[in-house]
Structure formats: structure tokens, C-alpha cells
């Protein structure tokens, strides 16, 4: 059986958590890799202060880690759960 790589988007909405849980229960097989992806775009408003941007990055990182906890609590079926935060 081939190892599959699955990507789930991380957002601070219930639908994203539901999508991750659905993928864990219905899509993943033993040994699959799952990647959690959160995209952070500080360029949306160039007037943001550096402290505000740092806080948004930290919030995104903490959000991604909370999704990783969902993966880690899923019966040890997952071989690896990676967290990526892209800065646009």
C-alpha cells in the first residue's frame, strides 16, 4: 500500500476543524502523512505595526498547533503530522 500525503487547511473556523476530523476518520490510512497548512498574509494591510504582525503570526502558529493536537489524539494512526505556516 502506498503512503499518501494529505494536506488540510488550518483556519480559525469550525468548518476547518470539522474538515480535519472528517479526513482523519474517513480518508487517512495507517502510515499516511498529513500536512496542516496555514497561510498568513501580512501584506493585506501595509499599515499594520510590526507588533500586530508578530501577534498575528503567533496566533496562526498556536492555531496550527491546536490542529496538530487533534491529529496527535487520533489513535496514533498518523505516521507524521507536519505544520507549515506560509507567509504571503
| pLDDT(67) > 80 | yes
pLDDT band at 76 (very low <50, low <70, confident <90, very high): low
Total count of residues recorded for the chain: 88
Instruction: Specify burial of residue 87 (Cβ count, 10 A radius: 0-12, 13-18, 19+).
Output: exposed
**Which grid coordinates belong to 53?**
504582525
What pLDDT digit, counting tens, does each position of 6-64 carry? 888 888 888 888 988 888 888 887 778 888 887 776 665 556 677 887 888 888 888 87
The residues spanned by each domain of the chain are 5-87
| pLDDT(80) > 60 | no
pLDDT at res. 42: 62
pLDDT at res. 44: 55
Pick the CATH number of 5-87 from 3.40.50.720, 3.40.50.620, 3.30.43.10, 3.40.50.2300: 3.40.50.620
Q: Is the dihedral of CA 38, 80, 73, 77 positive or negative?
A: positive
Amino acid at each position: 500500500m502506498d503512503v499518501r500525503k494529505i494536506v488540510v487547511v488550518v483556519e480559525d473556523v469550525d468548518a476547518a476543524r470539522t474538515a480535519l476530523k472528517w479526513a482523519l476518520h474517513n480518508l487517512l490510512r495507517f502510515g499516511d502523512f498529513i500536512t496542516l497548512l496555514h497561510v498568513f498574509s501580512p501584506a493585506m494591510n501595509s499599515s499594520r505595526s510590526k507588533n500586530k504582525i508578530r501577534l498575528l503570526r503567533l496566533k496562526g502558529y498556536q492555531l496550527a498547533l491546536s490542529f496538530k493536537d487533534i491529529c496527535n489524539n487520533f489513535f496514533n494512526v498518523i505516521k507524521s503530522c507536519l505544520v507549515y505556516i506560509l507567509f504571503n
